[in-house]
Structure formats: structure tokens, C-alpha cells
């Protein structure tokens, strides 16, 4: 049953509203691109919970016009999608796929015709398999291959794309893909995965240079962040929480915004990066804005003595880690088991302003959303309503936030969960590919109409 809610508070006239997706999760048409690490990962039994793959996913390559119409009718001003590196460069470098670039050309044209601003993300975890086989993100050369790919994409669609994102969530790609092995490419390196984080950040900096050389601007990155709360006031719990905060937050924001790693990260990298100072200068090239993906805070304590692996958000963490995540009790949970804590978004945004001061670029919430079942998804409406009010509170307190993107437009292939988690405003029947807007889609459309007329898609 629908709940009567007060309208959302009024956001600035030029605030950018959008929805997000990613290439591997929705595009399908796997036979029309080169293989990625996710194709190899999902082919191995046991890596994906329901045994599905993204070979078809939402068939977006063939149905993009229908999906753009859904975006237009929703009333948002922007669509954040990702470009598939192996669709453009099947082997990661060298020969360019005209067919792949043609698809993004058509997609951008369709968005522009619908009055929706295209916001491409150049990397959302789908590393070309050939690049992985040459060392992947463990080797420095991959950062340079990525910059070459960025230049290819900018050359083709840069004349119509005013806003760009280099990377999506390098923290998750480092942690889940290379430290714990739960995502592709399935490496279990623990702290030996730190060079991956550095090479991803270097790739970002090199791509910023390539995009600016191609004459495009308004460049940001989409990093995942969340407050880290100590399990208690005990010194050991606070120390563990501080270390976790460095690994999941400051490892990725400090070098981008300040040009320096936290001291503990510099020590852990050791001699792995001989040109660290020069790399940090590249990594910290000025950004036009900084994207934050937010889903939940994390409570962390010191490792519990005598315990084995710890379960956390569907992950089994090895006991040798110097921290132990703890449940956040007394909060509703999403279908993914994540606690719903809207005020943590306010806290996070205020923390960024306090931590970085005048060095902080304008912010954009590039992802925020939740997994729930059903078409009458009142829980999703409550989640989005709460987080948008929390965002508005941070803005009222002086944090410069320029936009908000819902994750996700469509139900999609949710990585190691397969098709078992549904984040979409629009339900997808994977057997028939029928799209059905959920109650949350209608709610957001109504709220956006209540915000008043928006500026044209090519403004700013």
C-alpha cells in the first residue's frame, strides 16, 4: 500500500537529476564485442550465485531506444551509462571496432534527441580479457592502454558529450576483484592488491589528460564512499575502523584531491611504485567535479580472537585482516542485506567538506539505490525519499552538490549475484525482455515534476 509523503524539498533549478547503468550489466550482445574478465569469471561454475551470465542481460544494445524513452518519460536530465572497453577495442588496444563505436554513436544521438544529457563512464570493471592476460591492473602498462582507449571514445562522441566519468568504483574493483576474489578477475591477493589501486588511479589521471587533449571537459570520477563507525570507543576498535576507512575511502580520495596517499598506504606500497611522486602529480590532475557512490555505512572493530572467516554483506573475509566488520543493528535491511541509514549520507558529505576544505571539487552523487523485489516497491520509494532528504540537508549545510543519479534505471545482471538482486526503477522480465516501470519510477517522475522545469540538457 502506498504511503502518503510530503513532497521532497526544492533542489536548485540547475541540479542535475539522472539514472545510472553499466555496460556489462545491461548491454548483452556479447557476441558483438571482445571477451572481458567478466565473461571468463562467469564461465567458471560457482562464481555467480544463480549461475547466470550477462551474455544477454537486458539486451540493451538492441533495445536502447526503448530504454531511452523510459529515461525521457521519467523526466531526468541525464543518463549515466558505461562504455564497454572490449566493445570498442576487442583486445584492449590496437584495432578499433567500428561496430562497437557505432552503437555508442547511436545511443548518444538518441539521448540528445530525447533531451537527455549523455554521461559516459569509461570503465565499469569490464577489463578486456587480452589486457588481463597481459597482467591486467597489476601492471603499469594497463593504465596507458586505458588512456589510449579514452582518446578513441572521446574522438568519436566527444562533440556531443559534455560530461565524462573516467572510472567507476576502483575501491570495489580492487577489493572484490583482486584482494578477495569475489568479483572478476577473481584474484585473492589481499594487501598485495594495492598496486591495482594505484594503477587504476594512474589510469584515471592519464585518461583525464587524454580527454582534455581531445578537447572535452567537465570530467569527474565515481568513487564509492561511506562513513566508517568504530564498533566501540575502545582504542583497538577505533584503530581498526581508522584503517578500514583508509582502505575503502581515503586510499582513493586523498591522492585525487590532495595529491598524496595516506602515510600507511605509502608504506604498504613500498618499492612497488618507483615513480610515486610523478604518478601522484598525474593522478591529482584537477577535476571539474567528484562523484560519490553511496549505499551504506560500515561498523568496524578489531578482529575477534579465536574466530575464523567473517561474513560481511555476502563476503567471507579472511581472519588475518586487521579489522572485522560488525552488523549495524536496529535498521531495516534491503533485499541485499544492506542497512538503510539515510543520515549516513549527510554525515559522509559533511565529512568530505571538512576533510578537504577548499580543495574539494563540486560533488555529484553518481550512484544511490537499493535492491528490493516486486513492482509495488514502496521500500525503494522510502529509501530514495530518505536519502534525497539527507542529501538536501547536507546541501543546506553548505556542501556543494550538483547532481544525483539513481542506481539503477533497469533491473540488471548484478555481478556475482547474477540476476538475483533487483535494483531497477524498471522491472525487466529476463525471459521476454519486457520492461515494466515500478511504483518507484512513478513516484520519482512525480517528484521531478514537482521540482519544476529543468534547464535544457546541453546547459552546463
Q: Known binder of ligand: residue 281? A: no
Does the annotation flag 295 for ligand binding? yes
Non-local CB neighbours of 102 within 8 Å, separated by 6+ positions: none
318: which 3 cell numbers? 579472511
Does 25 count as an annotated binding residue? yes
Give me the catalytic one of 169, 272, 320, 417: 169
Catalytic residue chosen out of the listed positions 27, 110, 367, 447: 367
What cell does 343 get?
543520515
**In the annotation, is 169 catalytic?**
yes
The reply to whether 443 sits in an annotated binding site is no
Contact (CB, 8 A) for 325 and 297: no
Residue 148 catalytic? no
414 is in an annotated binding site: yes
Chain-centroid distance of CA 248 in Å reads: 13
Annotated binding site: 25, 124, 168, 295, 407, 414-415
Active site residues: 169, 367
Annotated binding site for substrate: 25, 124, 168, 295, 407, 414-415
Amino acid at each position: 500500500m502506498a504511503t502518503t509523503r510530503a513532497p521532497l524539498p526544492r533542489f536548485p533549478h540547475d541540479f542535475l537529476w539522472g539514472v545510472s547503468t553499466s555496460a556489462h550489466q545491461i548491454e548483452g550482445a556479447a557476441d558483438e564485442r571482445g571477451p572481458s574478465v567478466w565473461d571468463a569469471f562467469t564461465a567458471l561454475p560457482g562464481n555467480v550465485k544463480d549461475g547466470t551470465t550477462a551474455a544477454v542481460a537486458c539486451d540493451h544494445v538492441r533495445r536502447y531506444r526503448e530504454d531511452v524513452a523510459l529515461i525521457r518519460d521519467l523526466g531526468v536530465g541525464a543518463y549515466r551509462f558505461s562504455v564497454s572497453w572490449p566493445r570498442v577495442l576487442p583486445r584492449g588496444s590496437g584495432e578499433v571496432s567500428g561496430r562497437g563505436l557505432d552503437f555508442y554513436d547511436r545511443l548518444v544521438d538518441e539521448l540528445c534527441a530525447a533531451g537527455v544529457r549523455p554521461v559516459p563512464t569509461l570503465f565499469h570493471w569490464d577489463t578486456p580479457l587480452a589486457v588481463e592476460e597481459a597482467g591486467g591492473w597489476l601492471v603499469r602498462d594497463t593504465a596507458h592502454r586505458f588512456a589510449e582507449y579514452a582518446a578513441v571514445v572521446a574522438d568519436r562522441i566527444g562533440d556531443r558529450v559534455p560530461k565524462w566519468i573516467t572510472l567507476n568504483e576502483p575501491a570495489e574493483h580492487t577489493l572484490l576483484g583482486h584482494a578477495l576474489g569475489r568479483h572478476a578477475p577473481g584474484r585473492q591477493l589481499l594487501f598485495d592488491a594495492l598496486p591495482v589501486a594505484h594503477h587504476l588511479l594512474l589510469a584515471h589521471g592519464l585518461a583525464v589528460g587524454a580527454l582534455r587533449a581531445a578537447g572535452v571537459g567537465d570530467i569527474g570520477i565515481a568513487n564509492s564512499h561511506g562513513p566508517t563507525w568504530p564498533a566501540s570507543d575502545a582504542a583497538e576498535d577505533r584503530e581498526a575502523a581508522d584503517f578500514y576507512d583508509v582502505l575503502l575511502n581515503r586510499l582513493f580520495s586523498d591522492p585525487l584531491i590532495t595529491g598524496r596517499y595516506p602515510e600507511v598506504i605509502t608504506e604498504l606500497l613500498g618499492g612497488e611504485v618507483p615513480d610515486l611522486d610523478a604518478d601522484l602529480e598525474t593522478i591529482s590532475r584537477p577535476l571539474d567535479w567528484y562523484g560519490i557512490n553511496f549505499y551504506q555505512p560500515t561498523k568496524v572493530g578489531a578482529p575477534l580472537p579465536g574466530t575464523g572467516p567473517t561474513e560481511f554483506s555476502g563476503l567471507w573475509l579472511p581472519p588475518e585482516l586487521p579489522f572485522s566488520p560488525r552488523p549495524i543493528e536496529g535498521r531495516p535491511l534491503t533485499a541485499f542485506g544492506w542497512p538503510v541509514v539515510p543520515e549516513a549520507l549527510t554525515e559522509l558529505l559533511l565529512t568530505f567538506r571538512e576533510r578537504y576544505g577548499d580543495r574539494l571539487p563540486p560533488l555529484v552523487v553518481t550512484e544511490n539505490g537499493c535492491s528490493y523485489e516486486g513492482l509495488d516497491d514502496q521500500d525503494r520509494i522510502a529509501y530514495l525519499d530518505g536519502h534525497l532528504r539527507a542529501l538536501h540537508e547536507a546541501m543546506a549545510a553548505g556542501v556543494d552538490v550538483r547532481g544525483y543519479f539513481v542506481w539503477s534505471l533497469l533491473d540488471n545482471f548484478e555481478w556475482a549475484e547474477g540476476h538475483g538482486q533487483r535494483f531497477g526503477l524498471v522491472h525487466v522480465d529476463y525471459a521476454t525482455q519486457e520492461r515494466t516501470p515500478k511504483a518507484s519510477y512513478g513516484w520519482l517522475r512525480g517528484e521531478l515534476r514537482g521540482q519544476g522545469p529543468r534547464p535544457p540538457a546541453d546547459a552546463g
